[in-house]
Structure 1
Amino acid sequence: MKKRSPLLLAIALLGLLLVACEPADDQADEQTPNGEPQPQADQAEAGDALHEAFEDYFQTQLERNPLRATFQGDHRFNDRLAITISPEFREESLALEEQFLEQVRAIDPDRLDHQDRLSREIFLREREQAIEGHRFPSHLLPLNQFRNFGNTLAQLGSGEGAQPFEDAEDYHNFLGRMEDFSTWVDQAIDNMREGMERDVVQPSILMERTRDQLDAHVVDDPEESLFWRPVSELPDDMDEDEAEGIRDAYRETIREVLVPAYARLRDFVDEEYLPETLEADGMHALPEGDDWYAYMVAQTTTTDLSPAEIHQIGLDEVERIHGEMRDVMEQVGFEGSLDEFFEFTAEDEQFYVDDPEELIQAYEDLRERVDEAAKALFDLTPEAEYEIRAVEPYREQSAAGASYMRPAPDGSRPGVFYVNTYDLSARPLWAVESLFLHEAVPGHHFQIALQQEQEHLPRFRQFGGNTAFIEGWALYAEAIGPEMGMYEDPYQYFGMLNAELWRAIRLVVDTGLHYHGWSRDEVLDYMYENSAVGEARAVSEAERYMAIPSQALAYKIGQLEFQRLREEAEEALGEDFDIQSFHNMILRNGAVPLDILEQEVQRWVEEQQV
């Protein structure tokens, strides 16, 4: 099958001349800086120009990043993958960012209404950050155990992800993606060889994990491949000749294209790359590593906090949370030290199950209770549903304890709360309530599903956002559990504290690794000394921080900001503070940068005081 190119080789210049439209009847004139009314037609013209630029950018990015389109329910490009790490793609990307930055910057913010000014500010910031990021050679580090494109393809190809397998066209589309993956593999190998020459390489332990993940997809019989699953479940109404053609095509592509690509990448990692990997465990050891990490910290947290400041915040929060844990020890009558309490909660059999299905059921048992309790704090909830599933076996060993996948915007697929059932001795039951609030309701499912249902937002905001807001909200959702009647069991409250402690520890160890030069073993020692964590999770988390620097900072920094802004709003409004209205205002705006969130909360408070 002949496929379209994964890259757009020509990019059209976008015009600024637009026809003004009639404003809505209820649209009020805004004030210009000199106090004179802003003409509505002028405002509408500027707003139209802004939204056309947003939509042009969004559509361009969907075409250039077909996987992004698939995950957003746009199936026009399901037959291809973009080789985003290629020199040509990166060059085009930089040119696009510069082009749209200048185009949107040229639109006068004084001619826009409030929401459009907000969108313009966010868009410009994102373009500026993307341009700055091009100075750092992230394309030379295309692969690790946490961000493994081979795993992403496997999740899609298993039939359990965003890739549809409903008719013959869907099946033929994924054949194209398997072929493009082979091209991606060759580019990744070229990039990693260049990285070896420039000393831009991964730590060895990460690549050992990655090698094993890749090896899982190297099979002798195509029908033993995870990629065969959709073929084994062809639609009943498919013509038999068509079905047989699909079976033949998948056997050939898996055997001749896909498995050799995984084997080629596995062998390269094992034979060439591992001997040249980084002896240190953090970014400080890379060329320009300190500047690179500082950039990532600023981008992740959307604050001006330095790595050193964040490290100290983490140390202070660990100490505070330890104090609250000692209160729980007193409540349950535990006699001993905090370390002994950690050992007790980590090892006592009352806190564990023997069957993965029991762990999944523990989360299912919470669903109705949590959904009902959320009504007191939220009257704006998503239309999309969510499911609870176990993490797939091929990625469970290195996956996080839980995660969330957004629903399809068209309603064809629900959100998914993934629970990791690997090594049940590391999955204590006292973590169930806090994890549910974080990943499902009112955490990620409420925030992410609601955001993409806000049709008043431009699509780059509907489907975009920043980690500090997204993960900060989810940790804030854990913290409001007592207001929802959760954590009545002191051990569940300990679970919430332990989850919060874990995020505080992340501030310490992520900056420890990448700024202060800690080793993986020093990170593990700090975790064991300060938390109730099993070895499997400690190792998985430590290696996650090594693989995706700065991402772990988002949770606690975001949560602290949500809590601070709510406290200030409550103090300013007193009895007039309405928690549902507060939450509605935050969720309707989507995942904005934290400093912009502060401006929006202050604006909302002022509106409530009128």
Structure 2
Amino acid sequence: MKNIKLALLSSAVMLALMGCNESTPKSETTPTTAAQPSVKTESASAQLDTLLTNYFEDGLQFNPIGGTYIGRNEFNDDFIAPINEANRNEQLNFIKEYKNKLANIDKAQLTGQSLLSYEILARDLDLAIEGSQFPSHLMPINQMGGAHNTFAALGSGQSAQPFNTVEDYKAFEKRADGFIAWLESVEQSMRQGMKDKVVLPKPLAEKLLPQFQTHIVEKPEESLFWGPIAQLPESFSDEQKAELTSAYTAMISERLVPAYQKMADFLANEYIPNARESIGYSELPNGKAWYEYQIKQHTTLSLNADEIHDIGLSEVSRILSEMKKVKEAVGFKGDLKAFFEHLRTSDEFYYDTPEALIAAYEEVKEKIDAKLPQMFDIAPKAPYVVKAVEDFRAESAAGASYQSPAPDGSRPGIFYINTFNLKAQPKFLLETLSIHEAAPGHHFQIALQQEIEGLPLFRKFGGYTVFAEGWALYAESLGKELGLFTDPYMWYGRLSDEQLRAMRLVLDTGFHAKGWTRQQGIDYMLANSSMAESDIIAEVERYIAWPGQALSYKLGQFKIQELRDYCKKELGDKFDIKAFHTQILIDGALPMPILEEKIKRWVSEQK
């Protein structure tokens, strides 16, 4: 059930090793009081440790894909349970059971890291129960997200699913059968959504169709799922190779292709004709409350749609003023609209080939990595690599994204660049996008989180959009302090990226609370940025598909910057930027109110 947070990173939400600190980071264990722990305190802490371990392990049954991504190979043959009332109730009962167990632990006896874990889990469980009232299962997939795309990535042999042994290959065959059963339940849920008037907007449904059609092939060798067969290990015997080739031929031709064909037919002939013309959640049954819940879920903050919309309008105006300064600095003759058009269309700002684009990001990676010790005492051990987004998902994928490394070190982090449209990847975004997606942004934060000793697993592999994206956008703001953005166009790239996040505040709330149309959103972004129209359309449709998610970036950045300003004011000459960054990162992702309380405790201990 999408609204139940199992605190697992399963696909795309996760720097090379730096010499400044090669030791494994340890999470903060400073108690909130100086008193020595009593027997009762130890007992409450021990109870919590047991509960957290069981919560994580029991939760994997609902997210076996997450198990694969964190290296738990016993889950590699399983898939998400079909969507039905019984399975939804089972998941909800799981949440309620752990809420009751948590309530039996005396919070007053907990300190330090145990208190943080208690507060985080209590909040997550309450939010999950609140979210269960909304019928998200009736829109289980969209063009931006869904297990259908995750499954394809796993089956390609280029993701977390291992294909090293014969058993690995057979595990994926069994997982494929689970996927087919799940996909059938997706169709049934979407049929129910048609009856209940809870359906995707038509533009999103139309973008979903090609994601299924691409897997309808005449020959198995043309399928994405043939990838593991094309790369059969040399260590396999001829008999094993022949057996697996035959098995995958049958899996693709007799099971997967028919399943994809059936779903594509349903979308084309029944769902898309009945998709809704409106785009906002406010147009769905109980949609206003549903959207306010999405805001709370994604931002962890107590802000309503109107407040956020006004913040966005103010930020867009401020950043436009900064962009005008860049226009003047580079000597461009013409107004800002003409400058935007110049940046969109002039060949000098774009690469000619995907290979040149990827090479440029690899070069920037080395430049940034060398500067990070100026502001950080900690760094992840795991490296990251730069790769192009796979062809099968490139058309609907974001311009860039990050996938976390395997916890056991067998797979690096991946900074994905979408090369589908080179005109959507300007050169002036090189520095800011690399900072955001890789180091010291997502890779730095998420890989570090996975490496922290002593962190409960539900936190080690969990996350909050507002923390992860807020940190990444805050990391962009460090560029000048790190000696980057010296070229005015690179500085414009930083402003352009920040403007994107500011416009998100306006558009997300505009679509889902104020009745904005899709075209209205496109026109607004064209007027206030130099983004390519194709990129703008993908962004607009992303906000329509993921209500509330896009609010997290700017609001998270604001909160982290606010905490930095607070620390600097309170500590004065004692303020150390490296120490501050360590405190933000060292306990993993936290809801913003809990992060704020923690930072203020830390400040009081420094005085």
TM class, shorter-length: over 0.9
Equivalent residue for 2:266, pick from 265, 268, 274: 268
Aligned residue for 1:577?
575
Distance 1:366 1:144 in 2: 33
Identical counterparts, % of pairs: 46
Q: Superposed, which structure 2 residues align to 1:150-165 within 5 Å?
A: 150-165=148-163
Would you say the 8 A contact 2:30–2:112 is kept in 1? no
Report the AA paired with residue 388 of structure 1.
V
Report the AA paired with residue 248 of structure 1.
S
Aligned residue for 2:248?
250
Aligned residue for 1:90?
88
Q: Superposed, which structure 2 residues align to 1:59-74 within 5 Å?
A: 59-74=57-72
Shift of 1:186: 1.0
Aligned residue for 2:26?
none
Matched, 1:213 2:211: yes
Shift of 1:118: 1.1
Aligned residue for 2:380?
382
**What secondary structure, in the 3-state scheme, does the structure 1 residue paired with 2:415 have?**
strand
**What secondary structure, in the 3-state scheme, does the structure 2 residue paired with 1:481 have?**
coil
Q: Superposed, which structure 2 residues align to 1:322-401 within 5 Å?
A: 322-401=320-399
Q: Superposed, which structure 2 residues align to 1:402-551 within 5 Å?
A: 402-551=400-549
Report the AA paired with residue 455 of structure 1.
E
Shift in CA distance, 182/334, structure 1 to aligned 2, threshold 3 Å: same
Aligned residue for 1:304?
302
Shift in CA distance, 577/176, structure 1 to aligned 2, threshold 3 Å: same
What stretches of structure 2 of length at least 5 have no aligned partner? 1-28
1:32-81, CA deviations, whole angstroms, 9 ceiling, x for partnerless residues? 9xxxx565322111111001111101001112310010111111110010
Report the AA paired with residue 127 of structure 2.
Q
What stretches of structure 1 of length at least 5 have no aligned partner? 1-26
Distance 1:52 1:92 in 2: 22
Distance 1:102 1:203 in 2: 38
1:148-197, CA deviations, whole angstroms, 9 ceiling, x for partnerless residues? 32221110011110101101010000001111111011101110111100
1:128-154, CA deviations, whole angstroms, 9 ceiling, x for partnerless residues? 111111100000001211113222111
Aligned residue for 1:23?
none
Would you say the 8 A contact 1:30–1:38 is kept in 2? no
Aligned residue for 2:100?
102
Shift in CA distance, 285/29, structure 1 to aligned 2, threshold 3 Å: closer
Report the AA paired with residue 225 of structure 2.
F
**What secondary structure, in the 3-state scheme, does the structure 2 residue paired with 1:470 have?**
helix
Aligned residue for 1:3?
none
Distance 1:315 1:29 in 2: 42
Shift of 1:336: 2.2
Report the AA paired with residue 126 of structure 1.
D
Distance 2:336 2:135 in 1: 44
Aligned residue for 2:200?
202
Would you say the 8 A contact 1:84–1:90 is kept in 2? no
Equivalent residue for 1:77, pick from 58, 75, 78: 75
Shift of 1:379: 1.4
Would you say the 8 A contact 1:455–1:462 is kept in 2? no
Aligned residue for 2:175?
177
Distance 2:63 2:488 in 1: 47
Shift in CA distance, 31/351, structure 1 to aligned 2, threshold 3 Å: closer
1:453-472, CA deviations, whole angstroms, 9 ceiling, x for partnerless residues? 11221111111121000000
Report the AA paired with residue 133 of structure 1.
G
Report the AA paired with residue 492 of structure 1.
M
Matched, 1:566 2:564: yes
Distance 1:292 1:275 in 2: 25
Report the AA paired with residue 503 of structure 1.
R
Shift in CA distance, 253/521, structure 1 to aligned 2, threshold 3 Å: same
Distance 1:457 1:355 in 2: 43
Distance 1:28 1:214 in 2: 51
Distance 1:178 1:389 in 2: 26
Report the AA paired with residue 540 of structure 1.
A
Distance 1:590 1:185 in 2: 34
1:550-598, CA deviations, whole angstroms, 9 ceiling, x for partnerless residues? 1100001001111111111112112211111111111111110011111
Distance 1:51 1:217 in 2: 45
Equivalent residue for 2:592, pick from 552, 571, 594: 594
Aligned residue for 1:281?
279
Shift of 1:85: 2.5
Shift in CA distance, 538/125, structure 1 to aligned 2, threshold 3 Å: same
Report the AA paired with residue 383 of structure 1.
K
Distance 2:254 2:165 in 1: 24
Distance 1:28 1:67 in 2: 35
Distance 1:104 1:593 in 2: 18
Report the AA paired with residue 300 of structure 1.
H
Moved over 4 A (4+): 27-32
**What secondary structure, in the 3-state scheme, does the structure 2 residue paired with 1:115 have?**
helix
Report the AA paired with residue 363 of structure 1.
Y
Count of residue pairs the alignment pairs up: 579
Shift in CA distance, 182/475, structure 1 to aligned 2, threshold 3 Å: same
Distance 1:28 1:127 in 2: 25
Distance 2:321 2:559 in 1: 21
Shift of 1:310: 0.4
Distance 1:109 1:151 in 2: 41
Would you say the 8 A contact 2:173–2:251 is kept in 1? yes
Distance 1:333 1:607 in 2: 51
**What secondary structure, in the 3-state scheme, does the structure 2 residue paired with 1:496 have?**
helix
Distance 1:312 1:70 in 2: 42
**What secondary structure, in the 3-state scheme, does the structure 2 residue paired with 1:365 have?**
helix
User: Aligned-residue CA RMSD in angstroms?
Assistant: 1.3
Shift in CA distance, 269/372, structure 1 to aligned 2, threshold 3 Å: same
**What secondary structure, in the 3-state scheme, does the structure 2 residue paired with 1:76 have?**
helix
Aligned residue for 2:239?
241
Aligned residue for 2:23?
none
Would you say the 8 A contact 1:29–1:38 is kept in 2? no
Distance 2:88 2:460 in 1: 25
Distance 1:497 1:398 in 2: 24
Shift in CA distance, 29/315, structure 1 to aligned 2, threshold 3 Å: closer
Would you say the 8 A contact 1:148–1:210 is kept in 2? no
Distance 1:50 1:337 in 2: 61
Would you say the 8 A contact 1:29–1:39 is kept in 2? no
Distance 1:324 1:143 in 2: 39
Would you say the 8 A contact 1:302–1:593 is kept in 2? yes
Distance 2:201 2:552 in 1: 23
Aligned residue for 2:553?
555
Report the AA paired with residue 136 of structure 1.
F
Shift in CA distance, 107/274, structure 1 to aligned 2, threshold 3 Å: same
